[in-house]
């Protein structure tokens, strides 16, 4: 909403800055720019962080957000994305700009529609005049008593090369500063003004700095002044909302019907141990869904290495007639061991299984040590060839039948989906191989 504002955006409280500090001059120019634009003060958010520059928001009758040093751009980004109709203006010192340097680059690269005013007084004013990322080479500060050895950061070039829509470099003395601030605010993309100014408490006495010497330093560094970039860019929020609107609407979650019964009257902990990439988790999930279709409570807990296509893949499924917490590394009642990778990981718990337990595995792993009943299944004895990726479901079908965990009908019903044919073939192979 645009309204006509007669009164300044400043409130009546005097600034707290040292005499001659450039911060007050820039804030006066910001006030003038806001008056030119006649925005509703409530729709303007001044976002600041720490340092003398960070004291600024309280002298304005606008909305405000004040946060941690160097992070004002992140808050401003969030505010602008959530409330695109607001005018979001960041005020930060050169200290905050360096501390939050990555935020600056990312906001420029995304072209978030905020305006950043860098109050660049070439040092950490509030904490005693330490050097910052913009302190010129040779400048004397409390941390560079022999002269700064570092080259100063070119803020405008940094954000410009990373995609900013609008950049300006000038000083707090510039007669057109209010006009440039207003221009930056109306730019739809990321806009930044690098405004050089004097810290009269520290930088000025240590470097005999004046307006002229400051301008000479800018020119001597080869840093251009004035509007350096003004290009048409779409702000990130607009592009984001358009992309979100173009996404297909999400289909509602489907409910798994309870259509079978399970004979279980006590919880059963089922372990599937195989190799990553061999459909261990999806086979375990299918048995879990068959359990849900049979009215059981089911949890599944998976474990696999960060290198997802090598090493082990373990799934622990709890099937229970009453709600149960997921098992985690517990000794299972029933284990299906599909490969050497799985056995390596599960050898400990399988070895601790009791005589009442059941282990279903393949001939190559027949020597695994356990007190549980061992069922060795030879996939070569199946009527058709069993793919490596189908083996977990074949062995699970055998285990499910032998211990009456879920019915074959429930397994078949859970097999629906994009891999229905492969899953059904594996279930039928399991039925054929059941001892």
Ligand X SMILES: Cc1ncc(C[n+]2csc(CCOP(=O)(O)OP(=O)(O)O)c2C)c(N)n1
Would you say 45 or 140 has its CB closer to ligand SF4? 140
d(CA 58, CA 47): 11
Q: Cβ(119)–Cβ(53) under 8 Å?
A: yes
Residue 95 lies near ligand SF4 (rule: CB under 6 A): no
Binding at 21: pick from ligand X, Mg ion, ligand SF4, none (beta carbon under 5-8 Å per type): ligand SF4
Binding residues for ligand X, how many (CB under 6 A)? 18
Residue 54 lies near ligand SF4 (rule: CB under 6 A): no
Binding at 50: pick from ligand SF4, ligand X, Mg ion, none (beta carbon under 5-8 Å per type): ligand X
Residues 6+ apart with CB under 8 A from 148: 131, 135, 136, 137, 138, 139, 140, 141
- Helix locations, 221-360, DSSP H: 236-246, 280-293, 340-351
CB of 104 to ligand X, least distance (A): 13
CA distances from 330 to 217, 241, 266, 270, 335 (A): 69, 47, 16, 10, 11
Binding at 304: pick from ligand X, ligand SF4, Mg ion, none (beta carbon under 5-8 Å per type): none
Residue 23 lies near ligand SF4 (rule: CB under 6 A): yes
Query: What is the bridge-based pairing of β-strands 226-230 and 268-275?
Result: unpaired
Q: Cβ(392)–Cβ(283) under 8 Å?
A: yes
- Site pattern 275..314 for ligand SF4 (x: CB under 6 A): ----------------------------------------
Would you say 94 or 428 has its CB closer to ligand SF4? 94
Using CB under 6 A, which of 9, 17, 60, 223 touches ligand SF4? Answer: 17
CB of 7 to ligand SF4, least distance (A): 26
Q: Cβ(176)–Cβ(202) under 8 Å?
A: no
Would you say 93 or 288 has its CB closer to ligand SF4? 93
DSSP 58: G
Query: What is the bridge-based pairing of β-strands 130-131 and 123-124?
Result: antiparallel
Residue with structure tokens 């955006």?
9
Q: Which helix (H) or strand (E) holds 428?
A: helix 420-433
CB of 132 to ligand X, least distance (A): 5
SS3 122: coil
Would you say 127 or 213 has its CB closer to Mg ion? 127
Using CB under 6 A, which of 63, 121, 144, 339 touches ligand SF4? Answer: 121
The separation between CA 91 and the C-alpha centre of its own chain, rounded to angstroms, equals 25
- Site pattern 95..124 for ligand X (x: CB under 6 A): xx--x-------------------x-x--x
d(CA 42, CA 97): 26
Query: What is the bridge-based pairing of β-strands 226-230 and 297-303?
Result: unpaired
User: Under rule CB under 6 A, which residues in 197-216 are in contact with ligand SF4?
Assistant: 199-202
Using CB under 6 A, which of 27, 34, 47, 52 touches ligand SF4? Answer: 52
Q: What are the E-state strand segments in 222-279?
A: 226-230, 268-275
Residue 126, token pair as written in the block: 């509030």
d(CA 313, CA 167): 53
CB of 55 to ligand SF4, least distance (A): 8
Applying CB under 6 A, the span of 87-95, 298-306, 394-402, 426-434 interacting with ligand X comes to 87-95
φ and ψ at residue 370, rounded to 5 degrees? -165, 150
Q: Is the dihedral of CA 224, 22, 208, 211 positive or negative?
A: positive
- Site pattern 161..200 for ligand SF4 (x: CB under 6 A): --------------------------------------xx
Q: What are the E-state strand segments in 113-187?
A: 115-120, 123-124, 130-131, 166-171
User: Under rule CB under 6 A, which residues in 357-396 are in contact with ligand SF4?
Assistant: none
Residue 132 lies near ligand X (rule: CB under 6 A): yes
Applying CB under 6 A, the span of 120-128, 186-194, 344-352, 373-381 interacting with ligand SF4 comes to 120-128
**Which residue's C-beta sits nearest to ligand SF4?**
125
Q: Cβ(91)–Cβ(56) under 8 Å?
A: yes
Residue 77, token pair as written in the block: 């980004």
CB of 300 to ligand SF4, least distance (A): 59
Using CB under 6 A, which of 126, 164, 191, 410 touches ligand SF4? Answer: 126
Would you say 23 or 312 has its CB closer to ligand SF4? 23
Using CB under 6 A, which of 11, 127, 210, 261 touches ligand X? Answer: 127
Residue 69 lies near ligand X (rule: CB under 6 A): yes
Binding site for ligand SF4 (CB under 6 A): 17-18, 21, 23, 52, 121, 125-126, 199-202
């Amino acid at each position: 909403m645009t309204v006509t504002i007669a009164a300044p955006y400043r409130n009546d409280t005097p600034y707290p800055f040292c005499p001659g500090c450039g911060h007050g001059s820039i804030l006066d120019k910001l006030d003038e720019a806001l008056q030119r634009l006649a925005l509703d003060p409530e729709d303007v958010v001044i976002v600041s962080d720490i340092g003398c520059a960070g004291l600024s928001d309280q002298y304005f009758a606008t909305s405000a957000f004040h946060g941690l040093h160097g992070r004002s751009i992140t808050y401003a980004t969030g505010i602008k994305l959530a409330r695109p109709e607001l005018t979001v203006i960041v005020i930060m010192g050169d200290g905050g700009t360096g501390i939050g340097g990555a935020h600056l680059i990312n906001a420029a690269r995304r072209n978030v529609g905020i305006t950043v005013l860098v109050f660049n007084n070439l040092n950490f004013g509030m904490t005693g005049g330490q050097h910052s990322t913009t302190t010129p080479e040779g400048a004397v500060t409390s941390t560079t008593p022999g002269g700064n050895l570092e080259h100063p950061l070119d803020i405008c070039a940094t954000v410009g090369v990373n995609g900013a829509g609008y950049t300006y470099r000038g000083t707090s003395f510039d007669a057109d500063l209010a006009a440039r601030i207003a221009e930056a605010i109306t730019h739809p993309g990321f806009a930044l003004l690098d405004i050089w100014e004097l810290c009269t408490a520290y930088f000025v006495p240590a470097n005999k700095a004046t307006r002229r010497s400051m301008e000479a330093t800018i020119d001597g560094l080869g840093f251009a002044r004035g509007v350096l970039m003004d290009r048409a860019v779409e702000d990130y929020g607009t592009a984001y909302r358009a992309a979100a609107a173009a996404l297909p609407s999400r289909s509602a979650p489907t409910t798994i019907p309870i259509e079978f019964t399970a004979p279980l009257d006590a919880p059963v902990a089922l372990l599937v141990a195989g190799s990553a990439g061999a459909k261990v988790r999806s086979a375990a999930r299918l048995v879990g869904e068959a359990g849900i279709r049979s009215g059981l409570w089911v949890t599944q807990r998976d474990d696999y290495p960060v290198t997802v296509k090598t090493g082990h893949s373990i799934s622990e499924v709890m099937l229970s007639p009453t709600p149960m917490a997921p098992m985690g590394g517990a000794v299972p009642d029933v284990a299906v061991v599909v490969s050497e990778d799985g056995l390596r990981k599960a050898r400990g718990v399988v070895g601790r299984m009791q005589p009442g337990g059941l282990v279903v595995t393949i001939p190559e792993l027949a020597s695994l040590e356990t007190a549980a009943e061992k069922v060795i299944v030879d996939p070569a004895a199946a009527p058709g060839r069993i793919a490596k990726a189908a083996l977990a479901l074949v062995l699970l079908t055998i285990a499910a039948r032998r211990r009456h965990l879920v019915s074959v009908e429930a397994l078949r019903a859970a097999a629906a989906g994009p891999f229905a044919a492969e899953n059904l073939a594996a279930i039928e192979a399991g039925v054929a191989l059941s001892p």
